[in-house]
Amino acid sequence: MVKILLMSMMSITLYAGIWNNPHDSAKVATETLFGAFSLPPKRLDPVISYNANEWAIIGQIYEPPLQYNYLKRPYVLEPLTLKKMPVITYLDKEGKIVDENDTHVAFSEYRLELRKDVRYQNHPAFVKDEKGKLLYGAMDAEALEKIHTLEDFKQVSTRALLASDYAYAIKRMAVRDNHSPILDTMSEYIIGLKTFSETISKIAREKKEKKKILDLRSYEISGVKVLNEHTLSITIHGKYPQFLFWLSMNFFAPVPWEADLFYQQEGLISKNLTLNWFPVGTGAYYLAENNPSREMILKANPNFHEEQYPSLTKEEQENADISADLLKDAGKKLPFMKEVIYSLEKESIPLWNKFLQGYYDASGISSEAFDQAVQISSTGNMGLSAEMKAKGIVLKGSVQPSIFYMAFNMEDPVVGGYSESAKKLRQAISIAQNQEEYISIFMNERGIAAQGPIPPGIFGYEEGKKGTNTIVYEWKNGKRIRRSLAVAKKLLAEAGYPNGISKKTGKQLKLYYDATATGPDDRALMDWRRKQFAKLGIQLVIRSTDYNRFQDKVRKAKAQIFSWGWNADYPDPENFLFLLYGGNAVVNTKGAGINSSNYQNPKFDKLFDEIKTMKNSPERKEKIEEMLKIVREDAPWVWGVHPKSLTLSQQWFKNVQPNAMANNTLKYKRIDAKLRVQKQKEWNQPVILPLILLFLFILAGGYILHKIYQTRQKAVIREAN
């Protein structure tokens, strides 16, 4: 019995190395990143996709012409697949070259010169036969019957990136049935794109009805020209400096014609083998497995071009507030990690527990785990809890280039309009909405109160006293203090509603807030909203509805008050100020505009038209400050919150630096696999004492039963004798 016990204990000890690890132990010991996702991506086609969880995947696979420097702050664009930044030439109506500041600028030509060492991932779409024709370009029904996954193709190949691939991508953008979310915007800028889109969309529908493949190579956009194999020019209307930012987005990633034609085969579409599900790119990684009900796997692209981890000058390091640890890999070849495995985790608690065990290399912080992970000091500063510090976990945080706000419909007869009384009503409500309390209760302090539409990190944002919205706050003793409720009530009375009672009707002011609230957390938020208005004597009626109905009311200017948000497309103030530009009001665009509050101020609009084509300069800054003064006084929004992003990473996960604009950051990150294995063993030692006690109990019980049995046997023998 003792021998059996010892053997059992030995087997437990031997098994301890893989006691509860959900991952392959061999891969744990390699430079493999283990991450999780809760919401599977739906679209991986770069011309269509516009969601963060989708860009987290395709950003590693596709390469637009430009990218954001991983470390520099403020955000800086740099060449990705180009030899240098695009050369911009300004032209007048006759096509003659003019100076950038010339009043006769009619067009801007962007010339893109590609690197010659960029190649696509290996893929069956590129394979050619002895005659130079695509081997898998037009497979018959018998051949297609044998194909179920991309691994079923026996051959793969690659080729160099060409300028025509970028032109082809823009042509795909133009096909209306591809539903590119930026087609309408780009049609206003790229010469000939609007006309081309109308023509090609009709052709595409006809081809689709006849089940024929659409090859876009033979069609041309007048403003997009392939000058040679490695040079592309894109001509746009007027001056639009922000166009460079668009060239860093996945919408402008190259699409090889071979892949487009390959995936148009009906036999592949019926098996969900499409460009929307299996991307083809030149990036640092390729999608090796796409099984969103279980896991998604990225592997290092063996054909990836030469690229090094960035280095910074001492001045750049100080400006970006970068630690020395983030520069240890400067100049080293990318990517570092050979594989990235994302596992489906539908629930936040199991994900969190696995992170604490060291089985995930990084984690967000859910509301359930916040108190366990983060400590907030009396001054409001965030830091790691003692438990997290003991594990060597690293906390990284940054204010996002985003804003969540509460909007007034400026077309509404009660809260809208531009009279002094209307302004004072909105100002009073703005003061009463205690955003600091909201951030504390509903965001675990993960945000800062907005002073206007421009978030931190974007040109035009100011810290401290200079950046304070003096309508809502005052500056006292070096701090920003929300104006008192007494000030709000005084403004409300001047607006014609003393203590919330209308002077005209003698009745309590009743306002309507449209929302998509459904769950218990939403109900708590709505109760809080009511209390903020009740402080002024105003009754707030919540009108909850589904998201589609809510959007419809906003687009038709039927909502009175509602909450909305915006994440930066690119780090420029124009990308936020255009949310308040009169030309973008939904009432002026048949519901298509992004100015959902329908704010229209001629002074603001005039300044916007001036700054939108200006480069960052003291003059532009001055005009932006004037615009902020105008909208703060008009108060079309309760300015709301700029959210903070907090992430936790294990001590072995290196080069982790928040970058809200870049989508291709996996190539910069590194895993110390040896340290990970060591820590996983330390943190997951099996608790075998209960098992030992159980075995001892069984042994003792067996011994006692054996003794009882022997005693009875002896008694039986005595009786028999």
Q: What digits encode the pLDDT tens for the residues 342-353?
A: 999 989 899 999
Q: What digits encode the pLDDT tens for the residues 263-297?
A: 999 999 999 999 999 999 999 999 999 998 899 99
Looking at per-residue pLDDT, the higher value among 691 and 271 belongs to: 271
Residue 451 in this model has a pLDDT that exceeds 70 = yes
pLDDT band at 690, cuts 50/70/90?
low
CATH 3.20.20.30 fits 402-645, yes or no: no
- Domain 39-307: CATH superfamily is Periplasmic binding protein-like II (3.40.190.10)
> In the predicted model, what is the mean pLDDT of residues 475-487?
95
How far is Cα 550 from Cα 196, in angstroms, rounded to an integer?
34
pLDDT number for residue 516: 87
Q: What digits encode the pLDDT tens for the residues 486-526?
A: 999 999 999 999 999 999 999 999 999 999 866 667 889 99
Q: What digits encode the pLDDT tens for the residues 198-221?
A: 999 999 999 999 999 999 999 999
Spatial CB neighbours of 595, under 8 Å, sequence gap ≥ 6: 578, 579, 580, 581, 582, 583, 584, 585, 586
Looking at per-residue pLDDT, the higher value among 527 and 547 belongs to: 527
Per-residue H/E/C for 521-562: HHHHHHHHHHHHHHCCCCEEEEEECCHHHHHHHHHCCCCCEE
The long-range contacts involving 85-89, CB below 8 angstroms and separated by at least 24 positions, are 85/244, 86/110, 86/111, 86/112, 86/244, 86/247, 87/111, 87/113
pLDDT number for residue 522: 83
pLDDT number for residue 711: 77
pLDDT band at 8, cuts 50/70/90?
very low
Residue 699 in this model has a pLDDT that exceeds 90 = no
Residue type, 582: G
Neighbours of 135 (CB within 10 A): 18
pLDDT band at 396, cuts 50/70/90?
very high
- Cβ-in-10-Å burial (0-12, 13-18, 19+) of 442 comes to middle
- What are the angstrom distances between the C-alpha of 341 and each of 36, 237, 358, 361, 666? 8, 44, 15, 11, 12
Residue 16 in this model has a pLDDT that exceeds 50 = no
Q: What digits encode the pLDDT tens for the residues 113-138?
A: 999 999 999 999 999 999 999 999 99
Q: Which of 34-48, 206-220, 373-387 has the lowest mean pLDDT?
A: 373-387
pLDDT number for residue 319: 87
Average of per-residue pLDDT values in the chain: 92
pLDDT band at 703, cuts 50/70/90?
confident
pLDDT number for residue 708: 79
> In the predicted model, what is the mean pLDDT of residues 16-27?
76
For 342: left if phi > 0, alpha if psi spans -120 to 50, otherwise beta; the answer is beta
> In the predicted model, what is the mean pLDDT of residues 440-454?
94
Q: Taking a C-beta distance cutoff of 8 angstroms, is the pair 97, 109 a contact?
A: no
Residue 17 in this model has a pLDDT that exceeds 60 = no
> In the predicted model, what is the mean pLDDT of residues 568-595?
92
Residue 709 in this model has a pLDDT that exceeds 80 = no
pLDDT band at 685, cuts 50/70/90?
confident
Residue 721 in this model has a pLDDT that exceeds 70 = no
Query: What are the tokens at 384?
Result: 């790691």
Q: Across-strand partners of 231?
A: 113, 228
| % residues pLDDT > 90 (the chain) | 82
pLDDT band at 720, cuts 50/70/90?
low
> In the predicted model, what is the mean pLDDT of residues 300-313?
97
pLDDT number for residue 507: 96
pLDDT band at 380, cuts 50/70/90?
low
pLDDT band at 232, cuts 50/70/90?
very high
pLDDT number for residue 686: 77
> In the predicted model, what is the mean pLDDT of residues 418-443?
96
pLDDT number for residue 5: 43
pLDDT number for residue 13: 44
Q: What digits encode the pLDDT tens for the residues 624-669?
A: 999 999 999 999 999 999 999 999 999 999 999 999 999 999 999 9
